[in-house]
């Protein structure tokens, strides 16, 4: 069986490593071959960008060599796919090579598209790339007080990011001694402060306690940089001195160019994780169109279920279990407290009050992640 993994992010890497362990014997005997194609020889720990933006991590802490994260039996090529020929069970890469497969897993991820809102990219700070997170930190360091507005596009990667950056900004300004000259104003697209009702029940009184104002049902329409105001589709506007945005995301351009899914998100079966209409094409991570969080943990749990199923297909000719929609998200509630939300398709989360212990576990996980990526944790 030729297994092709497209994308060397969290989902693709955990899947490939998990498969390599489950199919170690088959890899050695040549019955199975696992190949990964990626756009980069580096692997980024994307959740670290949040910390980079407030000066709590350095860029070099975010990266490892992708080759070094992979099990030895996995073939790895830095040669991104340009054409998916799913009817022929093959892909063509940037270098012109053709890779045929029996099973393919597509985990190409998503990208921020602040440019879709007029004026947003030019006037807002964001932290979804290394360069933008560093730029945001520099801007924060120069900030001497005023009105800080947080805006949120849809869909976005990491559903906890809007709350996390808001509470981390509060502690950042407090530590710099400019909180009394700073007003943080949080906006959110739906009718409460977070899409998860139980998270909103915790976050709303927390904002009120800290003096963070908020406006719900606020979807960005445009940003007027001259007047320093962001206007919403709902007809309101928020003036700002510093605009921080969690931009909307799309899937990768190669997905859109190949017509695999609107806005780059591929229609995916919610339990089997195969592309609709394709039994040997699997999708995971941000690349799916599933109505669940675009988050590393989603990719992680999808990859575990998928690895078990693809390994079973190699050994027994059939998958063995369904993905149940499991997601686990840490929620940083400032610089030294955190909580978490765990849920699936059937059960909503019930987050507890933030504690220092959970925060330190998250900080530990920022290092343990590399064990997760290797498929060890």
Partner 1 sequence: MSTRKLVDARGSFCPGPLMELIAAMKAAQVGDELEVLSTDKGSAHDIPEWINKVKHEHIETREEEGVWHVIVRKAK
Among 89, 129, 183, 195, binds partner 1 (CB under 8 A): 195
- What would the two tokens of residue 97 be? 């090579």
Among 159, 162, 285, 375, binds partner 1 (CB under 8 A): 159
The residues, ordered by sequence, that sit 6+ positions from 366 with a Cβ below 8 Å of its Cβ are: 45, 47, 48, 51, 57, 61
Contact 272, 151 (CB under 8 A): no
Contact 27, 42 (CB under 8 A): no
Residue 292 makes contact with partner 1 by CB under 8 A: yes
Residues 99-158 that bind partner 1 (CB under 8 A): 116, 154-155
Interacting stretch for partner 1, rule CB under 8 A, among 52-60, 69-77, 290-298, 351-359? 290-298
Name the nearest CA neighbour of 45 among 297, 221, 361, 277: 297
Report the helix count and the strand count for the chain, using DSSP H and E.
Answer: 11, 22
Residue 349 makes contact with partner 1 by CB under 8 A: yes
Interacting stretch for partner 1, rule CB under 8 A, among 47-55, 142-150, 229-237, 365-373? 229-237
| Residue 270 Cβ vs partner 1, minimum distance, rounded to whole Å | 7
Among 36, 54, 341, 358, binds partner 1 (CB under 8 A): 341
Among 345, 361, 365, 370, binds partner 1 (CB under 8 A): 345
Interacting stretch for partner 1, rule CB under 8 A, among 21-29, 35-43, 191-199, 237-245? 191-199
Rg (CA), the chain: 21
CA quadruple 337, 54, 365, 15: dihedral positive or negative?
A: positive
Among 109, 247, 296, 325, binds partner 1 (CB under 8 A): 325
What binding mask, one character per residue, do residues 256-275 give for partner 1 by CB under 8 A, x or -?
A: ------xx------x-----
Residue 291 makes contact with partner 1 by CB under 8 A: yes
Residue 233 makes contact with partner 1 by CB under 8 A: yes
54 φ, ψ to 5°? Answer: -115, 20
| Residue 215 Cβ vs partner 1, minimum distance, rounded to whole Å | 12
- What would the two tokens of residue 344 be? 């699936």
| Residue 196 Cβ vs partner 1, minimum distance, rounded to whole Å | 5
Name the strand (E) or helix (H) holding 10.
Answer: helix 10-22
Burial of 118 (0-12, 13-18, 19+ CB in 10 A): middle
Give CA–CA dist 240/352, Å, rounded: 33
Contact 26, 103 (CB under 8 A): no
Give CA–CA dist 375/377, Å, rounded: 6
Contact 40, 66 (CB under 8 A): yes
Residue 287 makes contact with partner 1 by CB under 8 A: no
Give CA–CA dist 265/377, Å, rounded: 28
Give CA–CA dist 101/88, Å, rounded: 9
What binding mask, one character per residue, do residues 60-99 give for partner 1 by CB under 8 A, x or -?
A: ----------------------------------------
Among 161, 260, 313, 327, binds partner 1 (CB under 8 A): 327
Residue 190 makes contact with partner 1 by CB under 8 A: yes
Interacting stretch for partner 1, rule CB under 8 A, among 1-9, 29-37, 77-85, 285-293? 285-293
Question: Using CB under 8 A as the criterion, which residues of the chain lie in contact with partner 1 when the complex forms?
Answer: 116, 154-155, 159, 189-191, 195-197, 217, 219, 233-235, 248, 262-263, 270, 291-293, 325, 327, 341, 343-346, 348-349
């Amino acid at each position: 069986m030729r297994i092709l993994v497209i994308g060397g992010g969290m989902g693709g890497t955990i899947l490939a490593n998990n498969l390599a362990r489950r199919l170690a014997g088959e890899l050695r005997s040549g019955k199975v071959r696992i190949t990964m194609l990626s756009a980069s020889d580096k692997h980024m720990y994307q959740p670290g960008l949040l910390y980079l933006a407030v000066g709590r991590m350095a860029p070099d802490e975010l990266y490892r060599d992708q080759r070094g994260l992979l099990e030895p039996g996995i073939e790895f090529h830095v040669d991104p796919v340009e054409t998916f020929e799913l009817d022929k069970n093959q892909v063509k890469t940037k270098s012109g090579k053709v890779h045929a497969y029996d099973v393919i897993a597509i985990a190409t991820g998503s990208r921020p598209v602040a440019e879709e809102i007029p004026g947003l990219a030019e006037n807002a700070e964001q932290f979804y790339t290394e360069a933008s997170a560093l730029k945001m930190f520099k801007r924060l360091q120069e900030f001497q007080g005023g009105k800080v507005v947080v805006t949120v596009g849809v869909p976005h990667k990491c559903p906890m990011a809007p709350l996390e950056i808001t509470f981390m900004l509060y502690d950042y300004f407090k530590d710099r001694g400019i909180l009394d000259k700073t007003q943080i104003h949080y906006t959110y697209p739906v009718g409460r402060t977070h899409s998860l009702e139980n998270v909103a029940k915790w976050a709303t009184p927390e904002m009120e306690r800290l003096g963070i104002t908020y406006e719900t049902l606020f979807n960005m329409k445009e940003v007027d940089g001259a007047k320093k105001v962001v206007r919403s589709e709902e007809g309101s506007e928020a003036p700002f001195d510093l605009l921080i945005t969690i931009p909307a995301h799309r899937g990768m351009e190669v997905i859109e160019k190949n017509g695999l899914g609107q806005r780059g998100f591929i229609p995916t079966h919610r339990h089997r994780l195969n592309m609709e209409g394709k039994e040997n094409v699997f999708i995971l991570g941000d690349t799916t169109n599933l109505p669940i969080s675009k988050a590393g943990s989603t990719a992680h749990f999808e990859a575990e279920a998928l690895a078990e199923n693809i390994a079973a297909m190699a050994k027994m000719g059939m998958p063995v279990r369904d993905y149940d929609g499991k997601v686990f998200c840490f929620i940083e509630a400032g610089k030294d407290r955190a909580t978490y939300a765990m849920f699936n398709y059937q059960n909503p989360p019930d987050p507890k009050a933030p504690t220092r212990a959970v925060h330190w576990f998250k900080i530990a996980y920022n290092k343990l992640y590399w064990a997760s990526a290797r498929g060890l944790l």
